[in-house]
A and B are shown apart, each in its own frame.
Chain A
Amino acid sequence: DMQLTQSPSILSAFVGDRVTIACRASQRIDDWLAWYQQKPGKAPKLLIYKASHLQSGVPSRFSGSGFGTEFTLTIAGLQPDDFATYYCQQWNGYLTTFGQGTKLEIK
């Protein structure tokens, strides 16, 4: 079965920091990976699609990279609004899988 493993599970950082969240796929998925931000009580919000493409309206401090099985989401210059939970997601042709999530906390 396809699995996505995110690291770390919890990340503490200061406003203004640059942070990176990793997502590892158990099988090669080329660049078919997306990243979402979710705040408590809200639906997830698409940030990045196809590994590195910024969704319309998302601030440019968010960026994604990777191919195959290793992917990263980077936030450059954390803002107070960025403290949330982040998920990676892939679709392999017949199944969608999410990572377990990374909670970004303010230090």
Chain B
Amino acid sequence: QVQLQQSGPGLVKPSGTLSLTCLVSGASITSSDWWIWIRQSPGKGLEWIAEINDSGSTYYNPSLKSRASLSLQKSKKQFYLTLSSVTAADTAVYFCARRFQWLAFDVWGQGILVTVSS
């Protein structure tokens, strides 16, 4: 059974950098899957941030204006999100997820609330 476990700080200062980790268990990071970050602002809907595959290919949401960066370490079965120059508008619950062959997200992390505040 594939599981995703997220970790990272819950508080980031304005203009700082948000860094989150997602650990994959129960499966390897393979070529058939993409690994995703999604966020949800308080009381709002879901916003796709970016995704990465096992070769390091990435797609990003243009609305984040190059502030987001994804990477992964297959040997550690981890993938990462960094979001730079954060503001209060980046306060959200951040989820990692897997996009499988049918282009849907079948496995999700538990979510982490990240608050941007001084």
Task: Tell me whether A98 and B110 are in contact in the complex, defined as CB-CB below 8 angstroms, given that A34-B105, A49-B102 are known contacts.
Answer: no
A80 to B46, CA, bound (A): 24
Q: Is the CB of B109 within 8 A of A43?
A: yes
A101 to B47, CA, bound (A): 11
The total of Cβ contacts below 8 Å across the A-B interface reads: 58
Number of interface residues of A (CB under 8 A): 25
In the complex, whether A63 has a CB less than 8 A from a CB of chain B is no
Q: Is the CB of B95 within 8 A of A98?
A: no
Q: Is the CB of A32 within 8 A of B45?
A: no
Q: Is the CB of B45 within 8 A of A95?
A: no
Which secondary structure characterizes the binding site on chain B? strand
Interface residues in chain A, defined as those with a beta carbon under 8 Å from any beta carbon in chain B: 32, 34, 36, 38, 42-46, 49-50, 53, 55, 87, 89-91, 94-101
Task: Pull 23 A–B residue pairs with CB atoms less than 8 Å apart, ordered by A.
Answer: A32-B103, A34-B103, A34-B104, A34-B105, A43-B95, A43-B97, A43-B110, A44-B108, A46-B106, A49-B103, A50-B104, A55-B106, A89-B46, A91-B99, A91-B103, A95-B59, A95-B62, A96-B48, A96-B51, A97-B48, A98-B45, A98-B46, A100-B45
Interface residues in chain B, defined as those with a beta carbon under 8 Å from any beta carbon in chain A: 36, 45-48, 51, 59, 61-62, 95, 97, 99, 102-106, 108-111
- In the complex, besides A38-B46, A91-B99, 5 extra interface pairs with C-beta distance below 8 angstroms are A43-B97, A44-B108, A89-B46, A89-B105, A98-B45
> What 5 A-B pairs are tightest by C-beta distance, nearest first?
A34-B104, A43-B108, A49-B104, A96-B48, A98-B46
